A and B are shown apart, each in its own frame.
Chain A
């Protein structure tokens, strides 16, 4: 149980275009979803936290107009990188969390999306 999928796993796009990444919790309802970015040989950097049906909370330094997050349902969140530039090339990882009695607040990670902007 607790499987999170991400699509696409790898995408190459041209500078100036937009890319949408989907994150789905397959066998549980995710009350909260997180979007991370990871550059080579660096740790995870939290970009934003989203709760179903409400606006995402962005971390300091993350442009909300550039990284659009939609958490439309308890099983789906999307991240759209708008007007992508080469410096946006990175490994984007989503995670999902569900909270219930006795839950450890564990985050379940998707497999990640490798974005390359040319």
Chain B
């Protein structure tokens, strides 16, 4: 079966750095997405990785290792507005998105 694992909840301090991990086992791989979702709102796109390595975009970076079936989202200089759920999703061999359950990130002052 297809499976995506990410921690249910994480807590971090404002101004700090946090890394949210995602491991996956899917039928095929055509890329991995990270989305941010604030409570009561729809997800918004953060990043897309299809090749191994680190993609940096401002305070957010995403890393992929296809051989390990592993990705992480790194958030730097955390702000209170970063409190949200972070969803990892993999595009499988049929180009369908397989979603993780999401990681709720709580930022404390």
A→B interface (CB under 8 Å): 34, 42-44, 46, 49, 91, 93, 104-112, 114
Contacts and interface: CB of A to CB of B under 8 A. Distances in A.
Given A43-B99, A44-B99, A49-B96, A106 B43 contact: no
Contacts of A42: 101
Given A43-B101, A44-B87, A105 B43 contact: no
Given A43-B87, A44-B87, A105 B44 contact: no
B102 A110 contact: no
21 contacts: A34-B97, A42-B101, A43-B99, A43-B100, A43-B102, A49-B96, A93-B42, A104-B31, A104-B48, A104-B50, A105-B31, A105-B95, A105-B97, A106-B45, A108-B45, A109-B43, A111-B41, A111-B42, A112-B40, A112-B42, A114-B40
A112 B100 CA distance: 19
Interface of B: 30-31, 33, 40-45, 48, 50, 87, 91, 95-97, 99-102
A105 B29 CA distance: 12
B40 to A, nearest CB: 7
B95 A109 contact: no
Nearest to A93: B42
A49 B95 CA distance: 12
